[in-house]
Structures are given as C-alpha cells and as structure tokens.
C-alpha cells in the first residue's frame, strides 16, 4: 500500500511537471535530468516555476492530511478536519494578523524570523484554535461531536470577522498580499515560500509518526490509554502542536484548502483499517498525491486561467463529508 502510494506520487509528480502552457514535455524532463540541459527559458519554467509549485503542493497536501489524522485521533472522531473544526480559520487569522500588523513588530524580530513570520503566526493561530476547540468539545472520556462541529463554526465565524476588520486596516500593499493569499492556491509558489513554511511542516511530519501508538490507545478513551502506558498529557500536547503547526504552515503558504484532512484518512481507513502506524505515513503520501493532482486540474481545466484549488477540494470533499454524516445517521448516533 505504502509503495503503491509512493508510485502514485511519482506518477502524479511527473504528470504535474510535464503539463503546462510552456509546452515542456516528458522528453524535456528526461533531458533536464540526464541530458546536457535545457534552454534557459525551459530551465526557468522547470526549476523556478513548476518544481517549487510541485514541492509546495506535496508539502501542503501531506501537512493537511496528517493534520487531519492527528485531529481525528485527538478527538476520537473521523469527522474532525482542520477546515471543518476551525483550525484553518484560526491559522488564517494568524496569517492575516502577521501580514497586516507584522510591520509593527520590532525590526529585530522581523529580521530573525524573516519570511517565516506568516507561517509562524498561522501556526500560533491554529494552535490557539485547537486548544479552545479541545477545551470545549472534550471532557475526559468522550468528545461531543455536535459541540466540536458547532465550536468549529463559531471559531471560523470569529476568525472570519476578525479577518474582515483587519482587511479594513490594511494598506494597499498589504491588501494585495491578503487577496493573493486568500485565494488559496499554489500559484505564487517560490523556493523562498517553501523554505519559510517547511520547518514547521517538517517538524509536524516528523513528530506525527511517533504519536501513532499513543493515538491508537487513545481510541479507547483517555483513561484506558493511560492504563495502557500512554502519557496522555504529553500525547495531547504533541498532537495539538503538530496538527496546528502543519495546518498553520499549509494555510500560510496556500490559503484555505479544505477537506484534504477529511477525505484522505477516510479513504485509507476504508481501504485498510484504523491502525495509526501505517495510516500516518500513508496519509502524508496520499495527501501529497491528491493535492498535486488537484493543483494540476485547477490550472488546466480553465487554462489559461486558474481555478482556486480550494474550490476543487471542496467539490470533492464536501459530498464525502455529507456522506459520512449520513452514514453516522444510519448507524444511529
């Protein structure tokens, strides 16, 4: 399964690298890798436009999918998704705060964090949203699904309103930044952007597999997890941190892309079960595949224009979410 997903990712990557307006085909890719090199123009198209976009797509997809697995494990519920429960909205607010008010920070701070300011602020926003959500929806033994979803709605509304206020405060240049960011796409991908977001994403993706066994035991409830040797407090802290970091970084560089964290784990659980040990790495792979393909479709379906990728993932993901709700209704809870 993992191997198949890796193969799928490779295929999707080649497909993504070789499609686009510049007419750079599979043969050119071969030449670029093993031949004497490309023309300067093709060089730029491949290495400065398509490759960073592909890498960013993979990183964002993997981050969102793994973040979904972590939130679901934490809330013991397959309906948790960073977009649905308001974590993305919190991260978005953090990002907007950084864009609009970042200039007020001491110059020393700005100089140290540099381009990572927006991803860091988004991670912080996502972290606070997750903490609030967990406080509201979970009481020791069980998660109240209705409370979780309602709290998500409230958090998203609050973050949206605050974002609106900040838009009024923004000056022209910031407004342009905001608009580009809010469109939620991989269009402006650069190596710099990737480098700014990658540390947070990498931290989350490296921590997540280590939480797999603990998340398995948490499926039996906090008390049982503790009886089976899991340090539940540490587990929860790490899961919340990683989910927020991954979501925050993804939202910061790509805007709101929903439902990846919902659909990917759902498909994998259907295919081979609930064990988090294979689930986490496979979710990273499938999330990357899904986002690379979604990006490919979003930039070719209405070419030369681009469909925001968030629209595409919602088109696929929202019906899946509704279907999952329907299934729960059929099961009687």
Partner 1 sequence: MLELINLSAQLGRRRVLQDVSLTVRPGELLAICGANGAGKSTLLKAILGELPASGVARLNGIAVAEARPATLARMRAVLPQESEVAFGFTLGEVVAMGREAGDFAAWPEVDGLALCAVGLQGREADDIRSLSGGERQRGHLARALAQVWEPVSPQRPRWLMLDEPVASLDLGHQLQVMRLARSYADAGGGVVAIMHDLNLSAMFADRMAFLVAGRLAAIGTPVEVMQQDLLEAAYGCQITLNRAPVSGPWLLPQSCR
Q: Pick between residue 206 and residue 234 the one whose CB is nearest to partner 1.
A: 234
In angstroms, what is the minimal distance from the CB of 230 to partner 1? 6
Q: Pick between residue 69 and residue 97 the one whose CB is nearest to partner 1.
A: 69
Q: Which of 56, 325, 11 is nearest to 186 (CA)?
A: 56
Rounded CA-CA distance 116/194 in Å is: 10
Q: Pick between residue 190 and residue 269 the one whose CB is nearest to partner 1.
A: 269
- Work out whether 326 is an interface residue with partner 1 (CB under 8 A): no
x-or-dash string of contact with partner 1, 71-110, rule CB under 8 A: -x---xxx--------------------------------
Rounded CA-CA distance 259/321 in Å is: 8
Please pick, from the candidates 212, 274, 318, 320, the single residue that binds partner 1 as defined by CB under 8 A.
274
- Work out whether 230 is an interface residue with partner 1 (CB under 8 A): yes
- Work out whether 229 is an interface residue with partner 1 (CB under 8 A): yes
- Work out whether 297 is an interface residue with partner 1 (CB under 8 A): no
- Work out whether 328 is an interface residue with partner 1 (CB under 8 A): no
Rounded CA-CA distance 313/2 in Å is: 23
In angstroms, what is the minimal distance from the CB of 139 to partner 1? 14
In angstroms, what is the minimal distance from the CB of 182 to partner 1? 34
Which residues are registered as beta bridge partners of 139?
Answer: 142
For residue 204, whether the previous peptide bond is cis, meaning omega lies within 30 degrees of 0, is no
Q: Which of 21, 57, 12, 328 is nearest to 186 (CA)?
A: 57
Binders of partner 1 in range 231-270 (CB under 8 A): 231-232, 269
Q: Count Cβ atoms within 10 A of the Cβ of residue 101 and give its class: 0-12 exposed, 13-18 middle, 19 or more buried.
A: middle
Binders of partner 1 in range 124-143 (CB under 8 A): 142
Residues 6+ apart with CB under 8 A from 246: 63, 64, 66, 67, 70, 200, 201, 204, 205, 208
In angstroms, what is the minimal distance from the CB of 68 to partner 1? 13
Contact between residue 250 and residue 201 where contact means Cβ atoms under 8 Å apart = yes
Q: Pick between residue 41 and residue 277 the one whose CB is nearest to partner 1.
A: 277
Binding site residues, partner 1, CB under 8 A = 72, 76-78, 142, 213, 216-217, 219-221, 223-224, 226-232, 269, 273-275
């Amino acid at each position: 399964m993992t191997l198949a997903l890796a193969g799928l990712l490779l295929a999707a990557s080649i497909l993504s690298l070789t499609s686009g307006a510049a007419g750079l085909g599979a043969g050119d890719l071969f030449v670029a890798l093993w031949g004497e090199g490309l023309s300067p123009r093709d060089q730029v198209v491949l290495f400065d436009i398509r490759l960073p976009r592909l890498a960013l797509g993979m990183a964002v997809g993997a981050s969102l999918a793994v973040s979904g697995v972590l939130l679901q494990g934490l809330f013991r519920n397959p309906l948790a998704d960073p977009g649905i429960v308001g974590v993305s909205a919190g991260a978005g607010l953090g990002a907007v705060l950084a864009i609009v008010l970042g200039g007020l920070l001491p110059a020393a701070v700005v100089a140290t964090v540099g381009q990572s300011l927006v991803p860091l602020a988004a991670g912080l926003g996502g972290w606070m949203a997750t903490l609030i959500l967990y406080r509201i929806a979970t009481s020791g033994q069980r998660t109240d699904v209705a409370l979780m979803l309602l709290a998500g709605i409230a958090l998203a509304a609050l973050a949206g309103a605050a974002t609106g206020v900040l838009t009024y405060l923004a000056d022209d240049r910031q407004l342009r930044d905001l608009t580009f960011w809010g469109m939620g796409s991989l269009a402006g991908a650069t190596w710099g952007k990737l480098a700014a977001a990658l540390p947070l994403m990498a931290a989350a993706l490296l921590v997540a597999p280590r939480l797999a066994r603990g998340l398995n035991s948490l499926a039996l409830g906090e008390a049982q997890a503790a009886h089976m040797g899991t340090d539940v407090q540490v587990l929860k802290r790490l899961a919340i941190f990683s989910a927020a970091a991954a979501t925050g970084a993804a939202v910061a560089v790509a805007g709101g892309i929903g439902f990846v964290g919902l659909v990917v784990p759902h498909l994998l659980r259907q295919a081979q079960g609930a064990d988090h040990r294979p689930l986490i790495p496979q979710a990273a792979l499938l999330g990357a595949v899904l986002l690379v393909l979604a990006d490919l479709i979003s930039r070719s379906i209405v070419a030369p224009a681009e469909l925001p990728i968030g629209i595409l993932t919602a088109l696929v993901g929202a019906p899946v979410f509704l279907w999952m709700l329907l299934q729960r209704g059929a099961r009687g809870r």
